[in-house]
């Protein structure tokens, strides 16, 4: 998504979800049970980064749902099947259980009126003012207004890129050179935007001045709670699965690299050339990934075309990074290479089983940190956690990757 951190976009998403939930009842005496299904939807509703966009009533109802889910843990411990627990909960509501009604009323009555401040309306007003000036052909004034908006109101990098692109549009009538320079700045902030007319030069990832442990800690500290961390991890891993469409899978792989402290990017998506994913880590060791998440589990070989794509990406890496240390990974359900295909470089395969093991180990790593204050963990102890859960560089190369088999 071009503007996945945009307040405006997220408000619209929240409104659409609330409208959908609201359609289950038509009057004040109606009642319903709503099940939230799907990784992206659950992540959006539960995460503190995005649940702020919902009304106070909706947030409270979600909170009640989470509280009830915690209460059912006792049933799981007694060996009750999950579907039975869910059915019992639904029947309590449908049968208008007095205990449930009293609990719900008490919780909703506790909801206070809390005024919420949001800059979105100021931003929309200023944006409208700039657009109006541009419509009236007062291009200089439109640029001044938009530049002020960017300087004073926009903090998120991707959002800044979006508004810089608007600034570039306003400047086109006064200076095409300036327009292209601004668009370059916009693209550097947000690789999902329009590429400048004369293109952009690829900037190599370089880990020399990076610290993996500090990057992981920074990722954790951007989340407000342990629950937020695990919601984020679960949401990412829900899309990092075979059978998921390529766009979601590749984005999830990029986010996985980021949560593990790697420099992580998508060259093919961002520059229209190169591998699906590229990670750079300690000692400038690189991983390049070609993702085939949509390949059926019954596929029995890697095709000639897929091998050719992998070879092309290896060639791209060689051109950009020379003899840098790299592990080249093809993520695909099979490790058998067609008789008609050949790899021109050393290629490793990641299949479903190994991918699941990796995800399980990453989850275990974050669970390990539950009872710690992140900034109080020494780097040495943090590294021990990384090694223990096999998410260090050597374990990546040895635990989750396989050699391919050439069919004869």
Tens digits of per-residue pLDDT, 107-136? 888 876 655 556 788 898 999 999 999 999
Is pTM beyond 0.85 here?
no
Of residues 323 and 79, more confidence is placed in 323
In angstroms, the CA 129 to CA 131 distance is: 5
For 149, other C-beta atoms within 10 Å of its C-beta total 20
At 39 the pLDDT is 81
At 42 the pLDDT is 85
Percent of the chain as helix, strand, coil, to the nearest 5: 55, 5, 35
Residues in the chain: 408
Average pLDDT, the chain: 90
In angstroms, the CA 102 to CA 349 distance is: 56
Predicted confidence (pLDDT) per residue in 377-400, tens digit: 999 999 999 999 999 999 999 999
In angstroms, the CA 185 to CA 82 distance is: 51
At 359 the pLDDT is 97
At 139 the pLDDT is 94
Question: DSSP letters along 98-129, please?
Answer: HHHHHHHHHHHHT--------THHHHHHHHHH
Q: pLDDT band at 103, cuts 50/70/90? A: confident
* Residue 78, pLDDT above cutoff 70: no
């Amino acid at each position: 998504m071009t503007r996945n951190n945009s307040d405006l976009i997220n408000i619209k998403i929240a409104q659409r979800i609330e409208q959908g939930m609201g359609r289950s009842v038509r009057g004040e005496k109606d009642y319903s049970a709503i099940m939230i299904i799907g990784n992206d939807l659950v992540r959006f509703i539960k995460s503190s980064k995005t649940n702020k966009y919902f009304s106070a009533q909706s947030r409270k109802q979600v909170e009640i749902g989470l509280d009830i889910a915690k209460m059912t843990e006792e049933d799981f411990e007694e060996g009750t099947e999950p579907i039975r627990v869910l059915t019992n909960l639904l029947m309590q509501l449908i049968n208008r259980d007095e205990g449930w009604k009293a609990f719900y009323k008490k919780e909703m009555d506790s909801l206070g009126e809390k005024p919420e401040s949001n800059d979105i309306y100021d931003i929309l007003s200023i944006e409208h003012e700039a657009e109006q000036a541009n419509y009236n052909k007062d291009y200089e004034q439109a640029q001044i207004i938009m530049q002020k908006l960017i300087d004073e109101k926009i903090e998120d990098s991707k959002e800044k890129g979006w508004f810089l692109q608007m600034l570039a549009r306003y400047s086109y009538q006064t200076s095409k050179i300036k327009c292209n320079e601004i668009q370059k700045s916009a693209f550097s902030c947000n690789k999902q935007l329009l590429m400048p007319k004369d293109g952009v030069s690829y900037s190599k990832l370089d880990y020399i001045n990076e610290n993996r442990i500090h990057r992981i800690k920074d990722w954790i500290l951007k989340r407000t709670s342990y629950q937020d961390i695990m919601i984020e991890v679960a949401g990412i891993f829900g899309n990092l699965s075979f059978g998921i469409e390529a766009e979601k899978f590749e984005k999830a792989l990029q986010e996985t690299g980021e949560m593990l402290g790697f420099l992580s990017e998508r060259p093919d998506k961002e520059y229209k050339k190169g591998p699906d994913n590229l990670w750079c880590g300690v000692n400038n060791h690189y991983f390049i990934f070609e993702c085939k998440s949509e390949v059926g589990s019954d596929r029995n070989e890697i095709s000639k075309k897929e091998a050719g794509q992998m070879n092309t990406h290896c060639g791209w890496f060689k051109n950009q990074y020379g003899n840098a240390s790299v592990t080249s990974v093809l993520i695909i359900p099979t490790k058998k290479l067609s008789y008609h295909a050949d790899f021109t470089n050393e290629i490793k395969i990641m299949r479903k089983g190994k991918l699941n093991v990796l995800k399980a180990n990453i989850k275990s790593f974050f669970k390990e940190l539950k009872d710690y204050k992140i900034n109080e963990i020494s780097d040495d102890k943090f590294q021990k956690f990384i090694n223990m859960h096999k998410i260090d560089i050597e374990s990546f190369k040895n635990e989750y990757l396989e050699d391919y088999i050439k069919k004869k």
